[in-house]
A = this chain, B = another copy of it.
């Protein structure tokens, strides 16, 4: 060992960009580290004079709290992770926006991740967020029956709120009442004389698909009528699926007189299909779309839709996570919150009474 050298060689590292820590503030204010901490955390037991000195020193040094270090100490990152199947779907966009809004109000950061409807990615992203020690999770799994997701969610102590999903386990969720939405749509179509009503929606492994089909079945049941199973298409909520199935439906020997598009991305596909096949709306077929959009409002003719408050869903979901985090120390066994937001039908000119 060279006695002329200290352990470190501080002169090797240029002193540039040395981060300012509370220790610097303490030195500047001629107090101890603990006192600075107390001032920062608004602990009441600090002499006003000292408090002022510290505050001045903070301004003087330009110190900013290091949230990473705080997280390390407090085991709270004040971050909420959010995993969605499609972060460009206006539906989830609105939910995310609502959620981000309330999280920010609470001083929480919003970490957004896109699973692209890939169950593997769901798992991967969840783990990534958990490793980052997010304090809570907003999550819309791509597959409600993936056992790995289920067991992960069951084991984790991180409060989680599902978005438009419902799992076979006890977990908070916020979802829209799609069952009722479709029922409203069918009721309306029945009321204006339609009987051959088609439903195009998808993915029975996630809640919206199931609820939509359920609503469809219920509406007919309650009306004491039977629907034609050949008019029900339950494989996807993509625009391309809508495009294809609307064409196929209209090519049937006995085509439907009305079609419900059960998915907010489907209307463009449906309209394209009608345009291609020279199907007039509502003369040849009545259309109801699920999910309000500019397109629905401004298409020719304007399209009747089922709508609900998306941002409210996001805000609600975020509020629940905040609540769970706040309640963490006390009760753990409170039962899960299940929020169902109502839907309404917006009547426009895309539906005509059956002649």
A-side interface residues toward B, CB under 8 Å? 17, 19, 64-69, 71-72, 75, 77, 79, 87-88, 90, 93-94, 96-97, 100-101, 104, 109-114, 125, 127-133, 157, 267-268, 271-272, 275, 293-295, 297-300
Contact = CB atoms under 8 A, between A and B. Distances in A.
Contact of A130 (B17, B64, B112): B64
30 contacts: A17-B157, A64-B127, A64-B131, A66-B131, A67-B131, A67-B133, A68-B71, A79-B111, A79-B132, A87-B97, A88-B93, A88-B94, A90-B90, A100-B113, A104-B113, A104-B125, A109-B113, A109-B128, A110-B111, A110-B113, A111-B112, A112-B112, A268-B294, A271-B298, A272-B298, A293-B294, A294-B295, A295-B295, A295-B299, A300-B300
A66 B79 CA distance: 14
Closest 7 CB pairs of A and B: A300-B300, A268-B294, A67-B132, A112-B112, A295-B295, A88-B97, A68-B71
Contacts of A130: 64
B133 A66 contact: yes
A74 to B, nearest CB: 10
Contacts of A94: 88
A31 B79 CA distance: 34
A267 to B, nearest CB: 8
A170 to B, nearest CB: 18
A146 B110 CA distance: 25
B101 A96 contact: no
A80 to B, nearest CB: 10
Given A110-B113, A298-B299, A100 B71 contact: no
A112 B110 contact: yes
A243 B271 CA distance: 25
Contacts of A79: 111, 132
Contacts of A68: 68, 71-72, 77, 132-133
Nearest to A114: B100
Nearest to A112: B112
Given A109-B111, A114-B101, A69 B67 contact: no
Contacts of A114: 97, 100-101, 104
A97 B85 CA distance: 12
A100 B127 contact: no
Contacts of A272: 298
A295 B293 CA distance: 9
Given A87-B97, A88-B94, A93-B93, A268 B112 contact: no
Contact of A295 (B64, B66, B298): B298
A72 B68 CA distance: 6
